Structure 1
Amino acid sequence: MNRKGFTLIEMVITLIVGSILVFGIAGFVELGARGYSDTIERQRLQTQAKFVLEKISREVRHAVPNMLSDELISGANCLSFYPIITSGFYAVSGADLQFVVGSKSASVDTIKDLSLVINPTVSAASQSNIFPLTSVTSDRETFYLAGMADEVKGNSVSNRHYIFDAQGKVSYCIINQRVQRLENGLDVTPISDSGVLGQLSYDAATVQHNGVVSISLTFTNEKDDESTSFQQKIQVLNVP
């Protein structure tokens, strides 16, 4: 009777070859998984950067023109501005300043704690054409500031005005390697992960060009120390 089977040497060789194949396949699987993970991480980093740039851009474009500044807040580089609450047109009527706004829901109660600015040219700290609306009155859709006509210094050529919250300054800062949004220097909201370095700056408007916000940020993936840099310029529309 013939008995067929494997010898010890054949079994050992089979185990060795099988192990080599298993380790080889595992290496390919690991390489593919690592490549997929790196791709997802790069996409996450770029998506985060695009979100930060788009959010800053949109808010800057809806800020009071020219009332921007780059400043240090608690030692951090920041870009600061005032969001427009509403806007409209004004006229001088005798000694009074009268104006209308674009928001149909605006009333004395909704705007009395806000401020009105005409022909903004510099940051709020040195702006002279700001009028608190604490004493505003109205007649239907027209609002009045009694006796304020003589206080207007430098009229708008298109009779435009902007209404904003003097206590609602918004700042974007790079704090602890994160882009963070501050409201009046108090309420802090991180809008990026850690590992962000860069500069936020503002070039004020001149007779040759409008104001320009420059953003230069580098986002670093702390896992593999891979960095991606983004640069963007935002033109601040000046409608005097």
Structure 2
Amino acid sequence: MARQHGFTLVELIIVVVLLGVIGISTFNFLGFGTRIYTDAVARDIQVSNGRFILQRMTREIAGALPASVRVSGDYRCIEYVPIIAGSLYTRLPRSNYTGPLRGITPADYSFAANQRVAVYTITESQVYGSTQRVKRLDSVNFDTPEPGYSEFNLNPADGDRYQRESPARRYYVLGLPVSWCLTAGQQLVRFSNYGWLTNQPDLNSLPGSGVEHRMATNIANDVNIAAQRPFAIADSDVRRTTVELVMLLGSDRTDEILTMHHGVTIVNLP
């Protein structure tokens, strides 16, 4: 009778155990790689969201009217007035002249409702609380009195004269104020088209009759901590205004918090 060869029970058990150890090790290795990939994707999303937010706010705030930037008392909102167009004037309604503002036509400018014209605004109250240096615009006569120049017809209800001349003879055409706010639900929201208000609006009054757009979620700033307040006017003088932006961005996938700081300089050219 031929002798039979095979594995003993002990050998089979050892093989099964070794295969189990190898399988678990391989699974853990693959799982670790997957976690690394997932974390990298989440971190990339955080960075992309942060860059988008900061670039959008930087572009808008840098083009705001000098002296129009203001931060709410609870540090949750920042408001500013965007400049639509700007150029030099040749004649300003002041003293004995009460006609239209005459100036060089800004490049790519078109008239629209709710625009205002500002001349030499250097304080917040002059921007929001007075019509002496910011006046509503009724209509524009283009290429008048000659090509390349325009006449800006102001709303008579705001008075027929500006309070002061601009040292550089500059005028700015303004759009409606814009606000960015951090909600209690850690969302960053942009409000627009809510109109002009003497006192800065907050989350209790916004958006009013305006428009609300959610720009980001998972914003982890704690406004009770000074270093985490999202908006701050770091410096302001007659030459420039510097706004500091701080964003702490969370993620749905990880517990990591990405902190991004950025300073925006508004050059004051009144």
Local SS of the residue matching 1:133: strand
State the alpha-carbon separation in 2 of the partners of residues 172 and 51 from structure 1. 14
State the alpha-carbon separation in 2 of the partners of residues 60 and 95 from structure 1. 33
C-alpha contact 2:119 2:170 (8 A) present in aligned 1: yes
Q: Does 1:100 align with 2:109?
A: no
Residue 76 and residue 213 in structure 1: after superposition, are their counterparts in 2 closer, same or farther (change >3 A)? closer
Task: Indicate which of 206, 214, 218 corresponds to 2:237.
Answer: 206
State the alpha-carbon separation in 1 of the partners of residues 240 and 160 from structure 2. 28
* Count of residue correspondences: 232
Residue 85 and residue 144 in structure 1: after superposition, are their counterparts in 2 closer, same or farther (change >3 A)? closer
Residue 4 and residue 221 in structure 1: after superposition, are their counterparts in 2 closer, same or farther (change >3 A)? same
Residue 105 and residue 52 in structure 1: after superposition, are their counterparts in 2 closer, same or farther (change >3 A)? closer
Shift of 1:76: 7.0
Task: Indicate which of 255, 260, 266 corresponds to 1:225.
Answer: 255
C-alpha contact 2:246 2:259 (8 A) present in aligned 1: yes
What's 1:193 paired with? 217
Shift of 1:119: 1.2
C-alpha contact 1:86 1:101 (8 A) present in aligned 2: no
Give deviations 1:37-84, integer Å, cap 9, x for gaps. 112111211121111111100111122222111126xx7711111121
State the alpha-carbon separation in 2 of the partners of residues 36 and 193 from structure 1. 22
> RMSD of the TM alignment (CA)?
2.5
State the alpha-carbon separation in 2 of the partners of residues 200 and 54 from structure 1. 15
State the alpha-carbon separation in 2 of the partners of residues 57 and 125 from structure 1. 22
State the alpha-carbon separation in 2 of the partners of residues 76 and 157 from structure 1. 34
State the alpha-carbon separation in 1 of the partners of residues 82 and 181 from structure 2. 16
Residue 187 and residue 78 in structure 1: after superposition, are their counterparts in 2 closer, same or farther (change >3 A)? same
C-alpha contact 1:220 1:226 (8 A) present in aligned 2: yes
Q: Does 1:89 align with 2:88?
A: yes
Task: Indicate which of 181, 190, 195 corresponds to 2:190.
Answer: 181
Q: Does 1:235 align with 2:265?
A: yes
Q: Supply the AA of the counterpart residue of 1:233.
A: G
Local SS of the residue matching 1:217: strand
Gaps of 5+ in 1: none
Local SS of the residue matching 2:16: helix
Q: Does 1:48 align with 2:72?
A: no
Give deviations 1:153-211, integer Å, cap 9, x for gaps. 2221111111112xx2111111121221111333121221223314212356324x521
What's 2:12 paired with? 11
What's 1:80 paired with? 79
What TM-score do you get using the length of structure 2 for normalisation?
0.76
Higher strand share: 1
Shift of 1:149: 9.5
Shift of 1:105: 5.3
Local SS of the residue matching 2:171: strand
State the alpha-carbon separation in 1 of the partners of residues 75 and 212 from structure 2. 13
What TM-score do you get using the length of structure 1 for normalisation?
0.85
> What is the aligned-residue identity percentage?
18
State the alpha-carbon separation in 1 of the partners of residues 190 and 242 from structure 2. 20
